[in-house]
Amino acid sequence: MSGILYIIVVGFIAGIIARLLAPGPNNPNGFILTTVLGIAGAFVATWIGQAIGHYGPDQGAGFIAATIGAVVVLFVWHRSVSSGYLRS
C-alpha cells in the first residue's frame, strides 16, 4: 500500500514541477490530472530508460526522470490540443 502512495505523491510533485517548467493555457488542472500527468511521465521515463538500457527490467524511473517524462507528456498534450485532436 505504501508503494502506491509513494507513486501518487511522486507523480503529483513531478506533475506540478512539469506544469511550472512548461506553462501553457491548456495545462491540465486539478489534483487528479496533475497526478496522472506525473505518473504518466514516470511511465514514459521508465519505458525510455529500459529501452536504452539505463534501467533494468525491474527498475523504475526516479524523481528527476519522472519530472522530465512529465514534461514530455505535457509537450505531447500541448501539441495534441493545439492541433485539434482533443477539441470537441
Nearest to 37 by CA among 24, 19, 55: 19
In the DSSP assignment, the letter for residue 85 is: T
Residues 26-79: tens digit of each pLDDT? 777 777 888 888 888 888 888 888 899 888 877 777 888 888 888 888 888 888
Nearest to 19 by CA among 67, 66, 65, 57: 67
pLDDT of residue 1: 58
Domain ranges of the chain: 2-82
pLDDT of residue 23: 77
pTM to 2 decimals?
Answer: 0.77
- Collapse the DSSP code of 86 into the 3-class scheme (helix H, G, I; strand E, B; otherwise coil) and give the result: coil
Residues 42-57: tens digit of each pLDDT? 888 888 888 998 888 7
Rounded to whole angstroms, the Cα distance separating 19 from 31 reads 12
